[in-house]
Chain A
């Protein structure tokens, strides 16, 4: 949340708006990502991870961001071995935004 506080510069209205957008967008992106993984459309899944990783860093999870960056590259090469770990990160993010 520190990045959000930093860019909002105390603008609570903006913070609320941004969290509302993340709450709306992240579950949609997670759903499309899961569909692409199920269909073994790894290229599509890589594009989804690309978008999601921006949210990972916005929510202040630098280690998960680094993992997502590598995972995205692997997906582009057709390797989806670390799917379970990324799924765990996604679930943590979804729980986190649900609380805010």
Chain B
């Protein structure tokens, strides 16, 4: 079984690598300090097992799993026992080992992976990337919440925060319009005013210097109106 390690702590990776090398059933292929690096690697390689940390900055282990359509078998490695129940909501999670890990406990987890039914398809990275491109993760109250980008119709600046309005619900996030603008597809989203970004596909009508989106009338700055009109399919 080919395996990789994803953990932002080098000491933890060093220990797991040592355990892998001592286990005759698995082959160490690589180690990654963050989920995005691993994601890029998985575009090129198919692997059978991931040793995955939960607590990582920016992108947690659970967030990472959600980006994979058909994830390989995963053994979670964490210092926190509190996620055990959540962990087993994922079919791909074979075991949950709490740090510090012993070789004996590690080998037991590997044995579970060997006995575990292999996923029918290796990880479908292409689909995952397409899916991931449609997702935006925002940090709210210590949780990374996934927002489906096409559902966003309006983003409003509110001091140090931005208010993201979607067809499902609204989110208040500590960020700036500039930061979120960089994360959104520029052919769809447009900053029409210093305090507003809109999804141009959700425009209902435009009147003088305002745009109607859903039930909201949003001002358009004079300088941005020509660019907005250029983007529309005008008759």
Contacts and interface: CB of A to CB of B under 8 A. Distances in A.
B11 interface: yes
A47 B11 contact: no
B11 A54 contact: yes
B209 interface: no
Given A25-B9, A47-B55, A54-B9, A17 B14 contact: yes
A18 B11 contact: yes
B80 A57 contact: no
From B9, B12, B100, name the one whose CB has the most chain A CB atoms within 10 angstroms: B100
B169 to A, nearest CB: 23
A40 interface: no
A54 B14 contact: no
Interface residues of A, number: 23
Interface string A1-34: 0010011110100100110011011000000000
Nearest to B141: A43
B18 A7 contact: yes
B9 A7 contact: no
Nearest to B55: A50
B36 to A, nearest CB: 18
Contacts of B37: none
Nearest to B99: A54
B43 interface: no
Contact of A50 (B19, B79, B103, B142): B79
A14 B14 CA distance: 9
B10 A50 contact: no
A24 B10 contact: yes
B102 A7 contact: yes
Contacts of A55: 11
B103 A18 contact: no
Contacts of A76: 142
A25 B7 CA distance: 13
B15 interface: yes
Interface string A52-88: 0111011000000000000000001000000000000
Closest 4 CB pairs of A and B: A21-B11, A21-B10, A21-B14, A57-B100
